[in-house]
Structure formats: C-alpha cells, structure tokens
Structure 1
C-alpha cells in the first residue's frame, strides 16, 4: 500500500500500476471536502516518491465517481474573503498539476457521476475511460461561481473552446456517448470492463503507441485558435449566453471571459486568471444565495427522505376529477411509473383528462425524451373509469374536483366508503381548510392536503398539508408518492391558503395598494420582472385567473381580516366584475392574442387602464425602489408569520416553497434570505414606515422587531 487515508487509498499492483481509489468512509458518495483534498495532496506526494511505477489509474469504489466539491463548506469558506479563497485555489491547482505532471502515464476510470471538482480531477489525467451510464460535467455556474480547479483551462484544450463554453455556461451533465464524441473521454465501455480498458490504455502508452506526453503538452499550452477564430468563438458566445442567463446570473458569461483571457496563455498563467475570476464570483450575493439554495434543497430532501422511510410503497393510486388538472396529475404519476385510475362522472371530462395526458406525452416524444413505444407503454398506466369498481386496491387517492368545499366534502365522504381502511385520501386544494374537509370523514387520520401547482408537469412543488387529525402515516405516504412523481414535497400545517398562497396574496395586496395610488400596472410588472420575478403581478394574476384570485382573496380575508380584508373594490375585483378573467377568456389586465406557436401573447389594452382608474384614490409618483418595497415587504412579512405560527418548520423550507411554488427569484435566495441580505433591522425600519401609511399588512411582528434589536438573522452568517 502506497497510501491509506479516510477517503483515499493508493495501492501498487504486481504490474507496477498504481490505483488511487476514492472511497469516503461513512458517506454514500465521494466529495472533495477540504479534508479529502488534503488526503489527495498526501497521496500524490507518496506517488511522486514511489520509484518504478508504470502508470496510475484513478477510480472510485462508490456508485458515483466524485459528485463534486463539498458544497456545505462553501459559505464558510467564501466568508473568509477572496485572499483565503485565492490561496485555497492555488493549493488545489498545485495538487492537480502534480497529478498531470507525474512521471508516468495516467488514466481515470469513470464509473458514475463525475461533476464539478470530480470532473476537474479526471481532466488532470492523460486519458479517460467512461462507463456507459456515467455522466460528467461542470455545473458550477448554477451556483453562481465558475469552475475554479482548472476546468476553465483544461476542458477547452481537450474538447475545443466552443464545446467547453457550451458545457460550462450551461452547467450540463453530459452522457458517455456525448463525451466520447466531443473527445472528453477516450473510450466508453461497460462498468465491468473499466479496469481492463484503463490498463490497456496504460500499456499502449508505455509501449509508445499512445503519446501521453503530447496529450499533456496540448493541455498545458495555449489554445490553438487564431485571432479571428477567438473572436468568433468568444464574442458570439458571450452575447448569446448573456441573453439566455439574464442580468442576474453573471457566472456563465464570466466563465467565457476566463476561457478567452486564458486562451493564449500557458497552464499556470491561465489558472491564475481562472482563480481570480472564481474568487470574484465567490464574493457575490448571487453565489451566496445560490449556494444557500442548494443547502436549503438538501434540507428539504433530507426531511422528505425521513418521511419516505416511514411509508409503505404507494403502488396504485387514483385521481378524482379528470379535466386539465386531473389529466396533469395522471400524466405525472404514469410517466414516473405509478399506475393511476382517473375517475370522473362524465365521459367528456375523462376524454379531456386523457387528451391532456396524451398531449404531454406527445411533447416528450417530440423532444426525443421518449419513443412512441415508451409513450404507449406509459399511457397504459392511466386507467379511465366512471365507477369506483377498482378502488378497493388503491393505496392513495388524490381528489381534484372543483374548488368548492361542498363538492369536495361530498366526493371525499363518498370515496372513503369504497376504499380500504388503510387507503390515504388527499385533497388537491389551494385554499380550502383541511380541517374543514376532514370534519365528515370517518378516518380523518388518513386524510391530508396534496396541493399541486399549475401546470402540474412543470411546477416542482407539492404542498403536503397536515390537518389537526392527520396521522403520520398519511403524511409519510403522501410525501413518498410526491417523491415518486418526481416532485418536491414540503410539509406544512393547515391554515387559510396554507403556505404559498397565504404568502402570495399579501404580495397581490401590495399590488392593489399601488393601483389605488395611481401606479401604472405595466410599469409595476416591468419593475418586478427586472427585480427577478418570471412575470410581474398583473401578468401573474392574468395567468392565475382573476376568478381564482378573487375566490382565494375572499378565503384570505376571512382567515386574516386584520390585514387582508379590504374596504372598497380592488383592481382585481373590478377586472372580475367586468368578466375579465385573464388568459381564460383572453382579457384581464392585458388582452391576449395567439402567437405563431398558438400560445397566448399579452398586449396592452386601453379598456383595462380605464377600469383600473375606477379604484384610484390618489395619484402618486413611485420610484422603482418604492414599488419593490410595497410589493416585497408584505410577502416577506407573511413568510415570517408562517414561520412564527408553525405553518412551516424552517426558513429553508419556507424559502424553497416560494422558489419552487411561485418563482421567487432564485438568485435572491427566498423571502427570509432577502430579509437577511437587507438586514433585519433595516427591513423592520422599512416595514414600519410603510405600515404608518398602509396599515397592518406592512406591520412587522413583535418577534421580528425583537430579532432586529438583538441583531439576529434567519440564517447564520456564513453557515454551513
């Protein structure tokens, strides 16, 4: 044994080939934490001291090769400043360069996922062989940073600038066949043949058949592009990527600049350019928030995983109510392999649900995600029915009929009588109290909410709503089924609007105040879209439907009359009263026309402006900052209240629900991170100023005021 550590071993074979194996103890995956990097340094030093070696194979004993750096260390590391980050990068570069400069040929056997730092490790070796199902990639730009351990230097020299720009700026995970075609790997074989393929390459390198020194020279020298080729490759790419990434995500364009600046340089100089840019990106709020987002996502997944372990597998499900929503739920379940009955009382509703599912499957075929045979097979997972005949074998039922408490109550009590005593009943409701719907059920412990967001196939969040009498088994089974559908479940407690809609409607309340004070709704939309929302509030209301908004607002006003009930008509109510329902009937705050693809395109409508004037009490001028404050403060305060009221368990879950459920700008990290970024004391001061003019919707809670006085935060500064 040449070296043995907690995560890395280096063994010498009888053929004088050394094998460096990544196998991090007590972990399911390999990560390049600071401790593992230290071990790698020791292992490389040991290899340099070993005489007579004829080659090195890098390999992994786990299912994945290396999933990347240890992201849990990022915020604490970045919080130490750019000098610390630069020194860390310099050290890693020296270790990776030492692998690249070993006195014998080297090869990586990529058995599984190799991302980020894991991909950068394998780029150091002379050759790479890849398992058929493995994937490699550099996803750092998705965290607001760039590859910093040589990825921006080695990958372009290996696969060409154009291909490297595509991989790095897109943060893609790339399959074996694509990697082979690009020249990122030298061979693709079944995993069982990886070791033999790696040894074959080393043997050919030692006989001179393969020139490993020429490979090194290519990676260590300048990119082979003349001035015109450089301009074509980089300037065009920067313009395109900037357009796709948008103004709030600078890392993809920064990565292209790094490749461009380093193109004419040797390895060490190009690495210095990369390190300086990485340190710059690491210090940005975007990187802090996107890394925080990753951490929050891990919290959510971990909690869901605990629930899942408490549940029996959900093997057969049913959805009550076909139509667009029922069809969407049936599609999602069937596409992920869980058979589902789709019941309605009308043939035409069944046909509408099937049509929706077929349409969604057909899109997958168009995108070459499925073959027509696979589509046909998956469609058999949906069984339409007009009766309860097969409901005795159903593990979980999703009720998705109209948003009317009397109708839902009748359907739920009816289905409870035909399913087994262990069947879990759920209601896909966006506003109706789970406690209320449970009142007439014989087994309320088997009932909870399962709130899907529209469109089901696109929106990642499902709120799992626990009522007062909901049992743990019901929550666990619903979480397990949500995960099996490929969705992210967040468990919340019952209240009007639950978490997401309860938080969203104060945002709309802020919008209504702006309309009453004479703001231009199109300008408000532009300001909030520039702030980072996928669509402004007026446009969002049109997409949601003004009828849906009015109904939900009534529920909120009844539940929280002190701050959500309003005297007089709002702009939202005026639109509804004038039969302007938004995209549902092609007129709301905007009018809608079909674009070339048959999708609704919004256009300005003078009639909408005339109607909004009916609610204007006084004419005020608003700066963009005023608009942002009036929109964001009530949303953030309601998120705080949900946390304080125990509707949601943690800041991480609250922020992830808003990002996954209503498109809160990811680069801002969520409502509670937004407060932290502003400073709790500064936020409270802003809210109190607005509350004097606009009332309780803007009033901070006592606990939030206390946090401000104590200089507290929702997330620990630079926390892991």
Structure 2
C-alpha cells in the first residue's frame, strides 16, 4: 500500500493524498520517500497534468519527519543521509517548479515536514479550526527544518519575521498563519476545501512560487540591507546569551537562514541540508528526541499508570490552603472545567487565592488569548470558602498548606470526612514522606502525594508520590487527574524529598559548597548557566528562601536521628546558617539573600559574599561537571533505591521539575550520552577530589561491567 494515493480527475488535476500505511499520522519515512519518488516519475511521464493538490487521508494533514528514523542516524551515515535529504528536496522542487499550479489542501495540523510540504505549494487553503496548528518546531528537538522550511519561510516572510518563528519553533493558529500571508484561503469543511483547491487551479493554469519570479526581493531585504544588517550584527550575541552555547540548533538555523538569503534557492536548500545533517548526526538531537518525543509520548500513553483500571474523570476538587501553591492548583484545575472549592482559614484568604486566577485571566484577556466570557467561566468554577462543609461532594481533596506535619494532619482529618468512599486525599508536600502524612488519614490506601511546582500555571510537571499503602486505584485516579488538567505526571515511590526536591537540593548545595570553597559567586552562577541550568544556585536559593531550606534540613536531620543515623552539617548548611543568623539575610521574600533586591533596578549579588571569597580558581568546566554529575548520580541512586521506577520518569522529571539542562535529554540520559565507562571514571575522579556525594552508584558500576551502553 503506497503512502501517497495518486488520482487524476477529469480536469487533469492530480490529487496526491498522503496516507502513511500502519500509522495514525503521516510522516516522512521510507515509505513516503519511495512513494514520492514514484509520484514524481509518474508526473514527469504525463505532460497533460494541469495542476496538483496535496491532500491527506488522515485526521491531520502531516505530522513531519520520522523521528524513529532520525534518532538512529549516526555520524558515519552523514554522507548517505545528506544525499537522501537532497533527493527528497529535488523531487519537491520539481513539483514546485514545473510551472503548473500546486495547492495544499490543509485539512488539519501541519508541523515540521508537513508544513514544509505545504510551503512547497503555490497556494495554501486550510479548514477553519481552532485546534489546527502550523509551524516548524524542529528546534525544540535539537534539529532544524531540513525539508526546505528555512529557505521558503525566509523568502516568504523575510529574515526579521521568519527567524523568531524558526528559532523558537512557534506554532501558528490558522488565523495567525493567514495574517502572515502563509495561508491564502479558508474552508469550512473538506468538501469545500477540495472544491476551492480545484477552482484555484483552474483559475491559475500557470503558476510558480512568488520567490521564483524574476526580480523577486525578500521582504525586508537581504543580509546586506542596512536594517537587516544591523539586526544581524547583534543577533549572534543575543542568541549565545540565551543558549549559553548549549544548543547548536538555533545557531544552525540562524546560519542557514542568513547564508541562504544571499544565494539562489537551490544553493540555499543545499546549505540547509548540510546544517540539518550536522544536527541530525549529532548527539544533542538524539538526547532531545529521546526525551521530548519518545519519553513524553510514553507518559502521555500511561506508562506510569496502573493497567487494567478504568479511566476516571474527577468532577470536583477541594483545595486546602489558598496561598501561592493552592491558588495555582485552583487555577490549573478550574481552567480545565473542573469545579474547585478553595478553602482557607478565612473567607478573605480564600478570596485572595481566587483573585490570583482573576489576575492570570485578566492578563490573557488583555492579550487577546481568551475571551472575557471564557475568563468568567473559569472564575465561576472556583468557590472560595472558610467552611470545611463546603468540601462535600469533592472526589479529590488536595492539601496545600505549610510544610508542617502536624498542620497537614489536622487539615487532612477535618476535610477527608467529606470525601465519598472512593474519593482521594492528596498532599502537595514537596519533601515530607507521604507514608508519614498518610497516618493521619482514615484510609491510607486512598492517600497520595501530588507535588506541583511553582508557579503552577507555568510549570508542566506533577510528581505523583505513592505512599507505602497507596492503592493502584488511587494512583490511577491521580494520574488521570494530572493529565486532565494538562500536566505531565511522573510516578515515584516515597522517600524524604522524593525525587525532584532531593536531586534539586544537590544542585543548590553544590553551588553553596563552591561558595564555601572560596570561588567568586558570579563565576558560580555563570558556570551553572553555561551548564544549561535555567537559574544559578544562589539565585534559586533566594527564591526558595534560606529559612525554608534550613527548616527542611533540620526536619531531615531529626528524622535521621530518630532512625539512629547522623547527618553532620555540610559546608552548604553552614553557609545557610551564617547567612540567616549572622547576616540576617533570608532570601528574596525577605528582601535580602545572596542577592540584593533594590526597588528600582535589577537584582545584584550581595557584596557581603566576600566573606567567603578566597580567590579560589576552579576551571569553569570543572564546576559545570560538578553541577551536572552531582544531580545525575543522585538521580541514578533514586533509580537504584526504587524511588524512581523508570528511566523515562527520571529524564522527563529532571528537566521539567528541576530544570536539568534540556540539551542532555535528562539526568540519566546525560550519563548515557557521556558514555557509561567514561561517566564512571569521571565520577570516581570527582569522588576522590570532592567527596562521597560523587560516589558512583553500584548500578552504574554493574552496567559498565556488563558492557551496557545505557542505564
């Protein structure tokens, strides 16, 4: 069965219908490439063809490149891969330049290679649908549009308009694409879509791309045009400041776009192919495809959900505590159409929590992202209250009060009486063991941890923590709820700090240790950014608050002492204590921490940090290695100890939960791509130089001994 159906109607219009066999979506796989080659041969043999329509038999138009293939391409395949891409482009270029009209009949979303197919057409018609998206998101997977997307977008829109779309991987709505001139007409259904496509062909018997017309000028000008040249003179520096040199794809896109804009179309396409080959054969794209495509898809399909349990639809959610976290959870829940009861100790506090959603919604309305009616609907879903009895009818209650076991036990006991027999009680704790909190519940099987991240409206991850007695049914309900509100769930087992808070703590502590060692604080922060972390350890410690970190450390120390274990103060602990008790600097919320926070102007490192500065020189790459290895090795310990149950959850959770650099593909993929043998040797070196926190877990040693290539 061919991936492209070839049909010529009575008007000699050829309709090429994309229909990849054995796939729910069309992709540029080997079947498609073979089919396209056959189609082109057929077209070349038929001089009567009056026009061509690209259509789709799938629900969406075309999904893009075959990522299963791309992740397999190795450096030694570069030559053959480059030639394959060039052949594909040559076939599309033949269709584009034959001189007859070519129309894209877009029945749904076209991303990546699918949008590149559409760009090959002279006229693009789309069905009016709010769910449809167009664009070139390859950069988010460490790649660039290699099917002509850069070349055609630049020629159609100009460098200044096209570059942000290409380098950020933005997806466009039908209306936005039309406003940019990328979509020429709209249809209400597939019948009208095909009819309009045929009518346009009949009305334009001779057609070519606008940029193939002699004398065509790229909108805004070429790189030598003064305004464009001025923009390009600062673009590389701005890009490097943003990527810190960790992501080659945006830089390759910029280069391909600028270089391609100075030559003819065919040469520009070849330049694009070379950059695409460079990225596709590189390791970073493999890291990112593995996690952001395969990993996320596995989670979306329920990889961490107990099997054999019917899907559950949460109807009403009670949230205890209307502070920043509770208010954020209320917004995330209500925005998906679920009724929310937001309870606090006073109606004033509860109303204040609801006002947080009002603020977020007002901003969206002012930006034109949602209607005022839609905002009102979301707000109507939130019922603020100070009365526990209003929780009646909730099938899920989430407590989001302060990290105090006694307080959490109190609110659990006073609220869970309003749950039905099959209802779920959850805690939003970030560090306290769920099994311990569950002891306050009437039924520990129905108690679970739902660890959201701040700010909830922006952070995509939810860490689901199974207590010792949490039932599979409760886990399934929690998983379904998290997915319903548009978040990504990872499932972990119960330990103090779970996975994300525990590993995140190693990053912050490593920064504090470097400070204690006498390294200049600005060098510490810069090394973390160059590693790919979104924020430096000193800045993030201020955000978390030093007093909270001290409290968590004290609680952990008490728990260990109760178990007959001891945890001596580390140099990081001593830095925290000195900051709080000697210098009265408690973090951003208190107005003073490792940074000063002037009312006017940007934050800046506190000059008093000279207290620790000893002009200690540690190579930047050494600090980068320390930041990455301390987190990766502790993530591996979490897998070894059973806190984590899958490598996928480790990689996805580390990126979305703690900001582990996306270029690595996640904490465990960092070790894989480093090379397990080399990672073991490096960990041993770090252990010898800096201490037992870098001790390689036994699982790493065992994998290396077994000759394994990955965890």
Provide the TM-score with structure 2 as the length reference: 0.91
Match of 1:69 among 41, 65, 73: 65
| Aligned residue number for residue 426 of structure 1 | 426
| Aligned residue number for residue 576 of structure 2 | 572
| Aligned residue number for residue 380 of structure 1 | 380
Q: 1:108 and 1:219, CA in 2 relative to 1: closer, same or farther beyond 3 A?
A: farther
Q: Give CA-to-partner distance per residue, 1:547-589, whole Å, 9 cap, x none.
A: 2212233355566788964368520122233442201101112
Alignment of 1:159-170 (within 5 A): 159-170=157-168
| Aligned residue number for residue 261 of structure 1 | 259
The Cα of 1:591 is off from its aligned counterpart by 2.0
Alignment of 1:472-483 (within 5 A): 472-483=472-483
Alignment of 1:317-356 (within 5 A): 317-356=317-356
| Aligned residue number for residue 400 of structure 2 | 400
Q: 1:124 and 1:681, CA in 2 relative to 1: closer, same or farther beyond 3 A?
A: same
The Cα of 1:693 is off from its aligned counterpart by 4.7
Mapped to 2, the partners of 1:395 and 1:674 lie a distance apart of 40
Mapped to 1, the partners of 2:606 and 2:223 lie a distance apart of 48
| Aligned residue number for residue 504 of structure 1 | 504
Tell me the number of residue pairs that the alignment of Structure 1 and Structure 2 aligns.
698
| Aligned residue number for residue 697 of structure 2 | 701
Moved more, 492-501 or 546-555: 546-555
Contact 1:324 1:352 in 2 (8 A): no
Alignment of 1:69-218 (within 5 A): 69-102=65-98, 104-133=100-129, 134-192=132-190, 193-206=192-205, 211-213=206-208, 215=210, 217-218=212-213
Q: Give CA-to-partner distance per residue, 1:579-621, whole Å, 9 cap, x none.
A: 422011011122212346xxxx4223234443x57xxxx9853
Q: Give CA-to-partner distance per residue, 1:353-391, whole Å, 9 cap, x none.
A: 122222222222233222333222211110011223343
1:687 correspondence with 2:691: no
| Aligned residue number for residue 277 of structure 2 | 279
SS at match of 1:492: strand
SS at match of 2:14: strand
Mapped to 2, the partners of 1:167 and 1:594 lie a distance apart of 35
| Aligned residue number for residue 454 of structure 2 | 454
1:233 correspondence with 2:228: yes
The Cα of 1:220 is off from its aligned counterpart by 12
Q: Give CA-to-partner distance per residue, 1:301-342, whole Å, 9 cap, x none.
A: 233695697321112111011122211111111122222110
The Cα of 1:227 is off from its aligned counterpart by 6.1
Contact 1:320 1:398 in 2 (8 A): yes
The Cα of 1:278 is off from its aligned counterpart by 1.6
SS at match of 1:593: coil
Mapped to 2, the partners of 1:701 and 1:216 lie a distance apart of 58
Q: 1:560 and 1:298, CA in 2 relative to 1: closer, same or farther beyond 3 A?
A: farther
| Aligned residue number for residue 718 of structure 1 | none
Mapped to 2, the partners of 1:541 and 1:702 lie a distance apart of 31
Contact 1:126 1:216 in 2 (8 A): no
The Cα of 1:276 is off from its aligned counterpart by 1.5
1:289 correspondence with 2:290: no
Mapped to 1, the partners of 2:223 and 2:484 lie a distance apart of 51
Moved more, 439-448 or 541-550: 439-448
Moved more, 249-258 or 648-657: 249-258
The Cα of 1:23 is off from its aligned counterpart by 2.4
Structure 1 unaligned runs (5+)?
716-720
The Cα of 1:114 is off from its aligned counterpart by 0.6
1:490 correspondence with 2:490: yes
Moved more, 83-92 or 445-454: 83-92
Contact 2:526 2:536 in 1 (8 A): yes
SS at match of 1:179: helix
Q: Give CA-to-partner distance per residue, 1:531-561, whole Å, 9 cap, x none.
A: 2212111111101111221223335556678
Mapped to 2, the partners of 1:48 and 1:391 lie a distance apart of 70
| Aligned residue number for residue 438 of structure 2 | 438
Q: 1:213 and 1:453, CA in 2 relative to 1: closer, same or farther beyond 3 A?
A: closer
Contact 2:512 2:538 in 1 (8 A): no
1:49 correspondence with 2:84: no
The Cα of 1:346 is off from its aligned counterpart by 1.6
The Cα of 1:654 is off from its aligned counterpart by 0.5
Match of 1:673 among 669, 684, 696: 669
Mapped to 1, the partners of 2:655 and 2:254 lie a distance apart of 28
Q: Give CA-to-partner distance per residue, 1:89-109, whole Å, 9 cap, x none.
A: 112112212322446422110
1:303 correspondence with 2:307: no
Q: 1:557 and 1:703, CA in 2 relative to 1: closer, same or farther beyond 3 A?
A: farther
Q: 1:186 and 1:313, CA in 2 relative to 1: closer, same or farther beyond 3 A?
A: same
Mapped to 2, the partners of 1:478 and 1:228 lie a distance apart of 53
Moved more, 228-237 or 334-343: 228-237
Structure 2 unaligned runs (5+)?
none
Moved more, 460-469 or 685-694: 685-694
Moved more, 122-131 or 37-46: 37-46
| Aligned residue number for residue 646 of structure 2 | 650
Alignment of 1:12-51 (within 5 A): 12-50=8-46
